[in-house]
Amino acid sequence: MKLYSLSVLYKGDPKVVLLKAAYDVSSFSFFQRSSVQEFMTFTSQLIVERSAKGSRASVKEQEYLCHVYVRNDSLAGVVVADNEYPSRVAFSLLEKVLDDFSKQVDRIDWPVGSPATIEYTGLDAHLSRYQNPREADPMTKVQAELDETKIILHNTMESLLERGEKLDDLVSKSEVLGIQSKAFYKTSRYTAFPERFSHSQMEYFTEQWALPRVPGPSTRVCFQARKQNSCCAIM
Amino acid sequence: MVGVKMAAAAAASIRERQTVALKRMLNFNVPHVKNSTGEPVWKVLIYDRFGQDIISPLLSVKELRDMGITLHLLLHSDRDPIPDVPAVYFVMPTEENIDRMCQDLRNQLYESYYLNFISAISRGKLEDIANAALAASAVTQVAKVFDQYLNFITLEDDMFVLCNQNKELVSYRAINRPDITDTEMETVMDTIVDSLFCFFVTLGAVPIIRCSRGTAAEMVAVKLDKKLRENLRDARNSLFTGDTLGAGQFSFQRPLLVLVDRNIDLATPLHHTWTYQALVHDVLDFHLNRVNLEESSGVENSPAGARPKRKNKKSYDLTPVDKFWQKHKGSPFPEVAESVQQELESYRAQEDEVKRLKSIMGLEGEDEGAISMLSDNTAKLTSAVSSLPELLEKKRLIDLHTNVATAVLEHIKARKLDVYFEYEEKIMSKTTLDKSLLDIISDPDAGTPEDKMRLFLIYYISAQQAPSEADLEQYKKALTDAGCNLNPLQYIKQWKAFAKMASAPTSYGSTTTKPMGLLSRVMNTGSQFVMEGVKNLVLKQQNLPVTRILDNLMEMKSNPETDDYRYFDPKMLRGNDSSVPRNKNPFQEAIVFVVGGGNYIEYQNLVDYIKGKQGKHILYGCSELFNATQFIKQLSQLGQK
């Protein structure tokens, strides 16, 4: 699993301008390195040229996958990776980088910039950090952490369960709560921290407790419901 | 006339030049006059392993004796003091060697010391020696200190390699491995350039350098140009003027140095070959002109039952003195076999003649009419006797070549190398293949797993388009079933992907081999070389990539492959970067040097190419010499992730 280059470009009309790039060609033999670097620059420029604004694409070239993201404001990023590198991580990297870049470099510099004139030093750091996708990407990082921390969570859940049980008693005892809200409450109990869990984790929990999936707005509602546990008034 | 003579002298073989330089060194750094009368001064020769490798292909022990060397020893061995004898040292100027030499000085081992360094010694180390000499009060004993600039090994009149001892340092793998740092690469390049520089000093000529761009060859070219230039500018110390040069400096034509990188042609080192010398290098243990054979003697009878066959090891030196070798080292193998047979027959005829004379002389006393025959026979006997040494030598050579050729033939038969050769020739010249590749790979009788791997790699390298995924999987499976390791393929895939990206694929010329059918070439019943079942393939002249490149550059032909090559002329005052050669005339002399390793197949191809051209000479050199087995090993290491 490897990343070879990371570049930021500007999709001008008609020409595409390379603003900044970082490369990792250490896996190529000494005399191939400069050629490979040039080749990747070229490919990146070509791909951006052929991609529409506001699009994301992955282009396969021999043993390499080039992921490109062109924003609506014509700022584009290309990352060249091998076939094994997870594309989701690649795209999140691109988004992050472009975001970072647009904050640090003035918009007016984009159409006329070149690697020499643009002052942005974060690319090398990003490239080397993202060589290990698990380390770098928050989602996979959390995934990894969750894999390791399932036990911890379990404890928390258990402790939650105890509390929940009390809450349950309260909920079931309450006569004010409608049947629907009680059911709803049962659901929300186990999804107390929606923002931190990924969908798959939600699935895990919902499966575990045989609950329907409760994504999006309802989780906020559940949260509110929890806060208002005493006065379970759900509109 | 003078010009022609000088030009001819400049084309003198590198072997001769290096031998002359060595002899001069052994003669206390005074030019050696061949027919000088009187006994030579007896001396001791001390060398390190580098020195040994340089001397052994050039001077036999007998020749050393002729120069007065009574004893030759390794530097790092225990040596007893011999206080009344001068010692000639021939070593590399490394830390260890310098320390040992200083120790020798302190221990007062010899009467006088003639220190010769294979390549130039640095000032600091020279001072170390001076200090040691001073401390040991041995300053007067250090008679001469020379930089010999002989840091290369000459194997043939027109072939040299850089080194043998530390060849891992400059191997193909060392240059092409991905995890090399800048400093390591610098060291490798410096080693190569140092040797090449020594080569040109010994040759006595400043070449015009051409090299391809973006490769290791380019780096070597840049550094060599710089080194030559610096040396030429240094008026006091220039090695290219004065009498060390000899006739070379008056040559009107400067030689062309073509630096190529191994990566332009990876198929040739893997190719199964059909010429004698290349075959010996491929299938037998052939090293620095010495071949080592294992001969199994018959089963020995002993009371305890049959002992397993004991293998005798025999080694032979294949030298320039060996006329048969010189004549046939580039011949196709069937021709060699036939020639050995012919030599044997002519030898037997001469032997019979001598025996006949012997018996006649024996009967002479009884025969009365013999006196008239006497003078006749005397003449015959005299000639027979005088030709005896020649005859004995001939016998020795015939034995030698019979053994070697038999060993080679055994390999050919067991591994069906003729089949491989023919098939690969067809692949490389893009003619249609009558048998499927898969068939050959899956055939359990044909060849070792390594042979199959070689064949497949050649196919993969020469293919215009890489085989489809499905096909590749099929081949891979067949190869694994046959017992091959797939690591070399991994590396070749990467190489090919890069080569495709960087430039057009190389072509191996269009030619055909004409097999004389599966004719059983049983020469005669007494022949040991029963080539039954072995195809009598005839090599047709084809130019390998390296030869083609040389042809373009030497003859100043315009060709997209070589037009972009860089041009260096160390003699020009201002080095410029243009690739436009200023010299428009074809070159008479050229040196081809392959950075990353070479082999006998390429060498033979160049020799064949230049044979047809009157008055032109080529020298072939490489950073290391490997056969296919060694090369596959390196590819395998490179392909491991």
pLDDT digits (tens, 9 = 90+) for A31-88: 888 888 888 888 888 888 888 888 888 888 767 788 888 888 889 999 999 888 888 8
Cβ–Cβ gap B180/A29 under 8 Å = yes
How close does chain A come to B641, measured CA to CA in Å?
Answer: 10
Identify all chain A residues contacting B501, using CB atoms and an 8 Å cutoff.
35-36, 39
Task: Decide if A190 contacts A209 (C-beta within 8 A).
Answer: yes
Check B214 against A62: CB less than 8 A apart.
no
B212: nearest CA partner in chain A: A31
Which residues, 6 or more positions from B565, have their beta carbon under 8 angstroms from its beta carbon? B210, B211, B212, B213, B553, B579
What pairing do the DSSP bridges indicate for beta strands B537-538 and B514-515?
A: antiparallel
Phi/psi at A18 (nearest 5 deg)? -85, 125
Q: Determine the distance in angstroms separating the CA of B568 from the nearest CA of chain A, rounded to an integer.
A: 20
**pLDDT in the model for residue A143:** 54
Residues B442, B448, B452, B455, CA torsion sign: negative
Strand order in the sheet with B311-317: B285-287, B290-296, B311-317
What was the pLDDT predicted at B362? 66
Nearest to B176 among A29, A34, A63 (CB): A29
List alpha helices for B251-387, DSSP H. 276-283, 323-328, 333-364, 370-386
Confirm if B91 and B75 have CB atoms less than 8 A apart.
Answer: yes
pLDDT < 70 positions in chain B: 1-12, 34-38, 241-252, 296-311, 361-375, 377, 500-541, 575-583, 641
Q: How far does the CA of residue A63 sit from the closest CA of chain B (Å)?
A: 9
Contact B178 A36 (CB under 8 A): no
> Which residues have C-beta within 8 Å of that of residue A1, sequence separation ≥ 6?
A81, A82, A84, A85, A131, A133
Which residues in chain B are closer than 8 Å to A1, comparing Cβ atoms? none
Residues of A in contact with B498 (CB under 8 A): 28, 32, 35-36
- Mapped onto helix, strand or coil, the DSSP state of residue B19 is helix
Give chain A's mean pLDDT.
68
CB contact under 8 A, A30 and B175: yes
Q: Is B626 exposed, middle or buried, given 0-12, 13-18 or 19+ CB atoms closer than 10 A?
A: buried
A8 forms bridges with which residues in the sheet? A20, A77
Q: Which residues of chain B approach chain A closer than 8 Å at the C-beta?
A: 175-180, 185, 214-216, 219, 261, 497-498, 501-502
Rounded Cα gap, residues B104 and B110, in angstroms: 8
**Best A28, A29, A43 residue to mutate vs chain B (most B CBs within 10 Å):** A29
With CB atoms and an 8 Å threshold, state whether B216 touches A31: yes
Q: What is the model's pLDDT at position A47?
A: 85
* Chain A interface, best mutation among B171, B176, B261, B641, by max A CB count within 10 A: B176
Q: Which of B185, B264, B501 to mutate to test the interface with A (most CBs of A within 10 A)?
A: B501
> Taking CA atoms, what residue in B is nearest to A40?
B501
Nearest to B178 among A26, A35, A39 (CB): A26
Q: Which ipTM did the prediction report?
A: 0.71
Cβ–Cβ below 8 Å for A35 and B498: yes
- The contact set of A with B (CB < 8 A) is 26-32, 34-36, 39, 62-63
Contact B98, B122 (CB under 8 A): no
Q: Give me the pLDDT at residue B138, please.
A: 82
As given in the structure block, the two tokens for residue B330 are 């580039």
pLDDT at A210 over 90: no
What is the per-residue pLDDT for A55?
Answer: 83
d(CA B454, CA B126) in angstroms, rounded, equals: 49
Contacts of residue A35 in chain B, CB cutoff 8 Å?
Answer: 214, 498, 501-502
Q: What is the DSSP string of B207-233?
A: PEEEE-TTSHHHHHHHHHHHHHHHHHH
Kindly determine whether residue B502 and residue A35, on different chains, have CB atoms separated by under 8 Å. yes
Task: Indicate the residue type of B517.
Answer: G
Query: Residue B308: is the preceding peptide bond cis (ω within 30°)?
Result: no
Helices B388-415 and B417-428, interaxial angle, to 10°? 70
Whose structure tokens read 């893997």?
B270
- % of chain A surpassing 90 pLDDT: 7
Indicate yes or no: CB of B498 within 8 angstroms of CB of A28: yes
Side chain identity, residue B603: Y
Q: Do B214 and A63 touch (CB under 8 A)?
A: no
| CA dist., res. B55 & res. B76, Å (int) | 17
Q: Read off the pLDDT band of A154 (50, 70, 90).
A: very low
Query: What sign has the CA pseudo-torsion B137, B139, B140, B142?
Result: positive
Distance from the Cα of A30 to chain B's closest Cα (Å) equals 6
**H-run or E-run covering B578:** none
Mutant choice from A1, A28, A31 vs B, greatest count of B C-beta within 10 A: A31
Give the minimum alpha-carbon distance from B632 to chain A in angstroms, rounded to a whole number.
Answer: 18
Q: Which residues contact A26 (CB under 8 A, 6 or more apart)?
A: B178, B179
Secondary structure element (H or E) that encloses residue B286, with its range: strand B285-287
**Is the distance from CB of A111 to CB of A17 less than 8 angstroms?**
yes
- Whose structure tokens read 């894999």? A147
Are B498 and A32 inside 8 Å of each other by CB? Answer: yes
**Contacts B261 to A, Cβ<8 Å:** 31
Distance CA B431, CA B512 (A): 8
Sign of CA dihedral B583, B586, B590, B593: positive
Distances in Å between the Cα of B535 and the Cα atoms of B128, B418, B517, B518 are: 63, 6, 6, 5
Rounded to the nearest angstrom, the minimum Cα separation between B461 and chain A is 17
List the single residue in B185, B498, B502 with the smallest CB-CB distance to A30: B185
**Pairs across A and B, CB distance < 8 A:** 34
Neighbouring C-beta atoms of residue B479, cutoff 10 Å: 22
